[in-house]
């Protein structure tokens, strides 16, 4: 019978007897201390005569209190802080009972205390120490016997705060885990050289030195709200050192202040590209949206659904969601009804190009604010299907914007793209034409028409990051169109929050551009994602350069050459100064829409180039129309 089997069958009476024996030793030890370990036989006999009359009472109280507090029912090998609290309480109650009983004996029986006061205090301290110590000895012995015998893996914990200490204890308490904590890593220089719970604290500048002198395999980020720049720096250095990076779960997933090793999550690429949280003027946004009727087109898409979640938090009176993607809208419906049960949602399946359908919806609900996020956005597909790009992005915008004007919507906020700047493809040109129409309508409407423009969104449908993830999971190769290609990136919440902020501050006619931060080389992004997946480039997986796709730019831009910007009260939002849409362009727009039924791509794109003079095709069959 092995140790584990024996411990799982240990009778409860054994624990009871064990605790009573410890109590006896504690009492004897207290007397020895009182007499400085020098008591002679006569003194011992004298003390025993006094003690013998109450010794049974002593054991009876100990047994009864420990039994009522269920001390014997705790599994000794799993002793926790809760068990320690019960032990302390039991010992304290026993001592208080002995004190009261001693007073009763002194004043009403034989003028002797149950125990001298010094004995009472020492017995309390010693019995509690014996009970706690014995349990931890058993626990340590148990942990050693079942400890994973595999080779230990060195781990560094980034963050020497509360979350870091919880992480340390979680790793140490998991007997199936073979990780060995090398030390804490912290940005605070004052902690350098100190020890926390016996573990050395290093400064972040010492990372390389620690890795070189120890078999470090993993770094665990144990900071709930890390400085994003510091976090990115640490992760980059770990990737260079070929160290795996994990992070502790969000506090919301902790149970009673604890979590398990299984909850450690891998770092994702968003942790490397995200920026500091945006500070919003929530009061202004709430004033704009609270108790209002708000309509969102393209509501089931990446940006649309992000906007809906943000808007719902400001408690609109009615939130109308329009999308033609039935399954995606259904999934969003399930999520929203669970997360925002008090909001009046209206889920509408419909095509924004269907004027009669849109007229009926807007006439029924009379929205006060419209967020127009519906659009076709994939550059290569739109290059092959220019008619659909014009129908959805131009005609669809015209339908919704015109109805907003007709029904006197307070604000119309259009979501545009950086690809509308000096467009090199059909998709970008179609969005620029939509911008021009919205601006022209603003000049003659009571509705305030506002445009927001930003770059790629991390994790959005069809973006490069989900594509890379699928390619990595399938074993590669990871495809990059050009080694030089760069893109701006923004998280979905960041983009949606800036759209709300810009929509709130807009007075009509503005094109707001967002600070997208530093542009990122796509090939570097691919390399980092491969490393984050625990794979080695060139050994486990390859990167394949495929060449630019039709209409694709090497570098995206947020402002055209002839544009400049004006600052706003928000540091991440600027106003682009663009040329206005004149009567000639309005006429060309009508001619463009009139060409849709002909389904002639060349004619359509030629007209688009007349409307957007800066539109020059790149790597596309439509380059011939630039001659």
Number of domains making up the chain: 3
Are 388 and 258 found together in one domain? no
CA-nearest of 164, 165, 276 to 227 is 276
- Determine, yes or no, domain membership for 130: yes
Give the separation between CA 184 and CA 430, rounded to whole angstroms.
Answer: 53
pLDDT at 244: 86
Instruction: Point out the domain boundary residue: 216, 243, 267.
Output: 267
| Position 611 pLDDT exceeds 90 | yes
Instruction: Point out the domain boundary residue: 235, 267, 299.
Output: 267
Instruction: Point out the domain boundary residue: 146, 167, 200.
Output: 146
Are 334 and 464 found together in one domain? yes
Q: Is 192 exposed, middle or buried (0-12, 13-18, 19+ CB in 10 A)?
A: middle
| Position 6 pLDDT exceeds 50 | no
Instruction: Pick the range with the lowest mean pLDDT from 80-84, 179-183, 518-522, 621-625.
Output: 80-84
Instruction: Pick the range with the lowest mean pLDDT from 357-366, 479-488, 509-518, 520-529.
Output: 509-518
The proportion of the chain whose per-residue pLDDT surpasses 90, expressed as a percent, equals: 33
Are 240 and 304 found together in one domain? no
- Determine, yes or no, domain membership for 455: yes
CA-nearest of 450, 452, 454 to 509 is 450
pLDDT at 144: 60
Are 117 and 162 found together in one domain? no
DSSP letter for each residue of 545-606:
E--PPTT--SS--SS-TT-EEEE-SSTTEEEEE-PPP-HHHHHHHHHHHHTGGGT-HHHHHH
- Determine, yes or no, domain membership for 620: no
Tokens of 424: 């090199």
Are 248 and 343 found together in one domain? no
- Determine, yes or no, domain membership for 571: yes
CATH code (residue 231): 3.40.50.720
Instruction: Pick the range with the lowest mean pLDDT from 385-399, 416-430, 550-564.
Output: 550-564
pLDDT at 602: 95
Domain enclosing residue 54, as ranges: 3-146
Are 118 and 163 found together in one domain? no
Pair 497, 468: CB distance under 8 Å: no
Instruction: For the chain, give the number of residues.
Output: 627
Are 242 and 390 found together in one domain? no
Higher per-residue confidence, 554 vs 371: 371
Are 516 and 576 found together in one domain? yes
Candidate list 62, 247, 419, 553, residue with the active-site label: 419
User: Hey, is 28 helix, strand or coil?
Assistant: helix
pLDDT at 1: 39
Sign of CA dihedral 158, 159, 163, 168: positive
Give the separation between CA 14 and CA 11, rounded to whole angstroms.
Answer: 6
| Residue-wise pLDDT tens digits, 209-268 | 888 888 888 898 888 888 878 888 888 888 888 888 888 887 666 666 666 777 777 777
- Determine, yes or no, domain membership for 257: yes
User: Hey, is 72 helix, strand or coil?
Assistant: helix
Higher per-residue confidence, 468 vs 5: 468
pLDDT at 427: 96
- Bridge partners of residue 91, in order along the sequence: none
| Residue-wise pLDDT tens digits, 434-457 | 999 999 999 899 999 999 988 777
| Residue-wise pLDDT tens digits, 186-199 | 998 888 889 888 88
Pair 347, 304: CB distance under 8 Å: no
- Determine, yes or no, domain membership for 373: yes
Are 255 and 295 found together in one domain? no
**Residue 419 annotated among the catalytic residues of the structure:** yes
Give the separation between CA 304 and CA 92, rounded to whole angstroms.
Answer: 61
| Residue-wise pLDDT tens digits, 262-307 | 777 777 777 776 566 666 677 888 889 999 999 999 999 989 999 9
> Cβ–Cβ contacts within 10 Å for residue 125, how many?
13
Are 219 and 352 found together in one domain? no
The model's pTM is: 0.69
| Position 394 pLDDT exceeds 80 | yes
426-442 vs 396-406: helix crossing angle, rounded to 10: 10
pLDDT at 232: 85
Are 444 and 506 found together in one domain? yes
Q: Is 547 left (phi over 0), alpha (psi -120 to 50) or beta?
A: left
pLDDT at 418: 86
Are 251 and 292 found together in one domain? no
pLDDT at 5: 44
Tokens of 602: 């060349």
Higher per-residue confidence, 128 vs 51: 128
- Determine, yes or no, domain membership for 615: no
- Determine, yes or no, domain membership for 421: yes
Split at pLDDT 50, 70, 90, the class of 622 is very high
């Amino acid at each position: 019978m092995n140790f584990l089997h024996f411990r799982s069958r240990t009778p409860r009476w054994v624990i009871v007897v064990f605790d009573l024996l410890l109590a006896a030793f504690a009492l004897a030890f207290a007397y020895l201390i009182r007499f400085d370990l020098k008591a002679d036989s006569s003194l011992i006999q004298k003390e025993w005569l006094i003690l013998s009359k109450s010794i049974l009472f002593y054991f009876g109280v100990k047994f009864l209190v420990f039994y009522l507090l269920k001390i014997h029912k705790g599994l000794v090998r799993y002793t926790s802080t809760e068990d320690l609290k019960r032990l302390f309480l039991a010992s304290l109650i026993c001592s208080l009972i002995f004190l009261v009983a001693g007073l009763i004996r002194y004043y009403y029986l034989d003028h002797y205390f149950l125990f001298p006061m010094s004995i009472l205090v020492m017995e309390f301290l010693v019995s509690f120490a014996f009970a706690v110590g014995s349990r931890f000895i058993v626990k340590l012995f148990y942990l050693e016997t079942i400890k994973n015998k595999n080779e230990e893996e060195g781990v560094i914990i980034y963050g020497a705060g509360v979350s870091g200490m919880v992480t340390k204890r979680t790793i140490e308490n998991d007997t199936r885990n073979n990780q060995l904590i090398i030390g804490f890593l912290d940005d605070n220089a004052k902690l350098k050289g100190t020890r926390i719970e016996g573990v050395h604290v290093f400064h972040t500048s010492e990372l390389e030195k620690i890795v070189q002198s120890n078999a470090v395999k993993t770094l665990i980020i144990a900071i709930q709200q890390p400085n994003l720049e510091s976090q990115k720096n640490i992760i980059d250095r770990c990737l260079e050192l070929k160290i795996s990076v994990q992070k502790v779960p969000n506090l919301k997933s902790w149970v009673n202040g604890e979590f398990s090793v299984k909850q450690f999550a891998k770092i994702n690429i968003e942790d490397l590209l995200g920026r500091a949280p945006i500070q919003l003027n929530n009061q202004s946004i709430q004033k704009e949206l609270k108790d209002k009727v708000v309509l969102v087109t393209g509501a089931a898409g990446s940006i649309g659904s992000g906007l809906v979640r943000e808007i719902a938090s400001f408690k609109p009176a009615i939130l109308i969601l329009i999308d033609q993607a039935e399954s995606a809208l259904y999934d969003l419906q399930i999520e929203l009804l669970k997360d925002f049960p008090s909001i009046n949602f209206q889920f509408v399946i419909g095509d924004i190009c269907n004027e009669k359908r849109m007229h009926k919806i807007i006439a029924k609900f009379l929205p006060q604010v419209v967020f127009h996020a519906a659009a076709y956005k994939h550059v290569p597909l739109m290059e092959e299907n220019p008619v659909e790009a014009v129908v959805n992005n131009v005609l669809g915008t015209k339908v919704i914007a015109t109805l907003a004007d007709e029904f006197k919507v307070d604000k119309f906020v259009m979501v545009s793209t950086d690809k509308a700047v000096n467009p090199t493809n059909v998709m970008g040109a179609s969005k620029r034409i939509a911008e021009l129409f919205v601006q022209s309508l603003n000049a003659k409407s009571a509705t305030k028409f506002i445009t927001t423009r930003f770059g790629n969104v991390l994790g959005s449908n069809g973006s490069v990051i989900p594509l890379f993830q699928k390619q990595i999971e399938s074993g590669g190769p990871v495809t990059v169109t050009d080694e030089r290609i760069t893109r701006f990136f923004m998280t979905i919440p960041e983009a949606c929050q800036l759209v709300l902020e810009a929509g709130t501050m807009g007075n009509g006619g503005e094109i707001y551009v967002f600070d997208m931060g530093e542009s990122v080389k796509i090939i570097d992004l691919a390399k980092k994602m491969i490393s984050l997946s625990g794979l080695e480039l060139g050994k486990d997986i390859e990167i394949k350069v495929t060449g630019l796709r039709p209409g694709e730019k090497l570098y995206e831009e947020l402002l055209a050459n002839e544009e400049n910007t004006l600052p706003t009260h928000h540091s991440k939002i600027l106003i682009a100064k663009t040329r206005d849409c004149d009567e000639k362009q309005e006429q060309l727009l009508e001619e463009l829409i009139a060409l849709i039924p002909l389904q002639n791509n060349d004619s359509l794109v030629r007209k688009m180039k007349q409307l957007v003079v800066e539109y020059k095709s790149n790597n596309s069959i439509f380059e011939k129309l630039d001659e």
